[in-house]
Amino acid sequence: MDFGIAVGTLLAFCLTYVILKSGKMWRRARSLPPGPTPLPFIGNLHQVRPWDITKSLMKLHKKYGSVYTVHLGQEPHVVLCGYQAVKEALIDNSEIFGERGFYPVFYNFTKGDGIAFSKGEKWKRLRRFALHILRDFGMGKRSIEERIQEEAQYLVEEFRKTNMSPCNPITLVGRAVSNVICSVVFGNRFDYEDKNFTLLVSCIQNNFTIMSKISGVLYNFYSDLMDYLPGPHKDIFTNFEKLTDFIEEKVKKNQESLDPNNPRDYVDCFLIKMEKEKNNSENFFNMNTLVMSSLILFFGGTETISLTLRYGFLILMKYPAIAAKVQEEIDHVIGRHRMPSYEDRTRMPYTTAVLHEIQRYADVIPLSLTHELTADINFRGYNLHKGTQVTLLMTSVHRDPTQYQDPDKFDPTNFLDANGRFKKREALMPFSAGKRICLGESLAMTELFIYFTTILQNFSFKSLIPSEKLDLTPLGVGLGNIPIPYEICMIPR
């Protein structure tokens, strides 16, 4: 065939493809809530900047209101904004808004297995089982609290070793937090210098960072194309493979020493369940769901808490008067020598308010995880169809001016009443809400309180730069809001 004819045929083919694709995209867009006009292939990339996705979506919220459509890549997403709309969806219509949506960067690896990224009956069974086991192993009970208290003391010792010299808290805090989930899933903590453990924690931290930056966000928009391109997003899958190897190795060890009458941890319980269910025609308990569920517990349970604590330290370096007031309450209620317990929070309204305000202000998971509709629904005048992808703009809940007087200001009085008592706010949803609400909420709250109070009981924070110059703007804004790396001096009290 003549070269010119070949090129012409190819161009005609590409053009037809683009027209068909665009036609389909625009037809679909017509039946969805209004939003910026998408372009073929790129969707709304010209309005939604991948390095600044939350800010871009907040800007569109101002223009289009509480419900609008945006094409992330070629996939239309209905974006819900502000406390009222998010509550109406996740809480008032929890069944319909409660399915997991498509999140390519996780799907590529999990293939829809494990607690967080499975759907339907499989998800229900895996989630119920995990909650049951986590509770039995002490989630919200004393035994896990003791493990957190013990780990908090290890962390204090490690910070003491810094001898007041500047340190980035990311490594130590990550290891301390990860050790708690290690005790639940594997039944033991690790030494902070253990080579396999440090690798595990750094893989989690690296993946969280990449997913929160441009290449992770772009992967979610254009996964088909990105699979063929080099870049940091490739490391995500290598890191997940390393984590899987670590987990598989641990599972093998558990299998070798398993006593069905005396389960030691989550992995043992899962192995026993696998054996029980092996003849069940609808069996969701297999090696793959065990490995993926353990991996998600690690991933979900490490960087989220570590990030909140690191943001908290940074905020308190910027506002030393607030830190001093928390320390005053700690000294008054707990003293300098007794280990803080979760029960103490009931007598510490100011500290509790500061922690809640840190969660609101840091807003560590600004877009939650994508949801999907399980049925058609008329929502706020729009007919939305089963299977529609829903993005929850949590930042717009946490910065909702109808809920908070001055939402861009860090202000613990948001969570205090006129008498200085702690005041709960419905418009605080760091763990999301409804059917898919974070499975680790109570474990996370216990950890946050105990780590935060133990550290402030033992140290004051000193910044290397004047506090007014500390920048609280997040660095990464995709999966997570990551604070700009900083150094802190831990000054023993």
Task: Enumerate binding residues for ligand HEM (CB under 6 A).
Answer: 100, 115-116, 127, 296-297, 300-301, 304-305, 308, 364-365, 368-369, 430-432, 436-440, 443-444
Q: Which is nearer to ligand HEM, 169 or 430 (CB)?
A: 430
Phi, psi of 187 (to 5 degrees): 80, 0
Q: Which is nearer to ligand HEM, 129 or 459 (CB)?
A: 129
Q: Which is nearer to ligand HEM, 45 or 115 (CB)?
A: 115
Residue 84 in 3-state DSSP? helix
Residue 436 in 3-state DSSP? helix
Q: Which is nearer to ligand HEM, 226 or 296 (CB)?
A: 296
Q: Which is nearer to ligand HEM, 47 or 179 (CB)?
A: 179
CB 432 within 8 A of CB 90: yes
**In this structure, what DSSP letter does residue 434 have?**
G
CB of 406 to ligand HEM, least distance (A): 23
CB 327 within 8 A of CB 456: yes
Strand 459-463, strand 481-483: pairing: unpaired
CB of 335 to ligand HEM, least distance (A): 27
Residue 489 in 3-state DSSP? strand
Cα angle, residue 166 at apex, residues 164 and 172 outer, rounded to 5°: 90
Q: Which is nearer to ligand HEM, 234 or 264 (CB)?
A: 264
**Which residue in the shown chain puts its C-beta closest to ligand HEM?**
440
Q: Which is nearer to ligand HEM, 45 or 394 (CB)?
A: 394
Q: Which is nearer to ligand HEM, 448 or 489 (CB)?
A: 448
CB of 402 to ligand HEM, least distance (A): 21
CB of 425 to ligand HEM, least distance (A): 16
Cross-strand pairs, 392: 80
Ordered DSSP codes for 155-173: HHHHHHHTTT--B-THHHH
CB of 347 to ligand HEM, least distance (A): 23
CB of 408 to ligand HEM, least distance (A): 20
Q: Say which amino acid occupies 272.
A: I
Structure tokens at 249: 């190795």
Q: Say which amino acid occupies 11.
A: L
Cross-strand pairs, 72: 43, 75
CB of 164 to ligand HEM, least distance (A): 28
301-320 residues labelled b (16+ CB within 10 A) or e (exposed): bbbbbbbbbbbbbbbbbbbe
CB of 46 to ligand HEM, least distance (A): 28
Which residues have a Cβ under 8 Å from the Cβ of 69 and sit 6 or more positions away? 29, 32, 33, 34, 35, 76, 77, 78, 79
The kind and range of the H/E element at 144 are: helix 142-161
Other CB atoms within 10 A of residue 128 CB: 11
CB of 431 to ligand HEM, least distance (A): 5
Q: Which is nearer to ligand HEM, 53 or 444 (CB)?
A: 444
DSSP-H helix ranges across 277-348: 287-318, 320-333
CB of 267 to ligand HEM, least distance (A): 14
Exposed/middle/buried for residue 223 (C-beta within 10 Å: 0-12, 13-18, 19+): middle
Strand 389-393, strand 75-81: pairing: parallel
CB of 134 to ligand HEM, least distance (A): 6
Q: Which is nearer to ligand HEM, 25 or 435 (CB)?
A: 435
CB of 292 to ligand HEM, least distance (A): 10
Q: Which is nearer to ligand HEM, 47 or 149 (CB)?
A: 149
Phi, psi of 99 (to 5 degrees): -95, 150
Closest alpha carbon to 202 in 39, 126, 210, 34? 210
Which residues have a Cβ under 8 Å from the Cβ of 299 and sit 6 or more positions away? 204, 207, 208, 243
Q: Which is nearer to ligand HEM, 56 or 359 (CB)?
A: 359
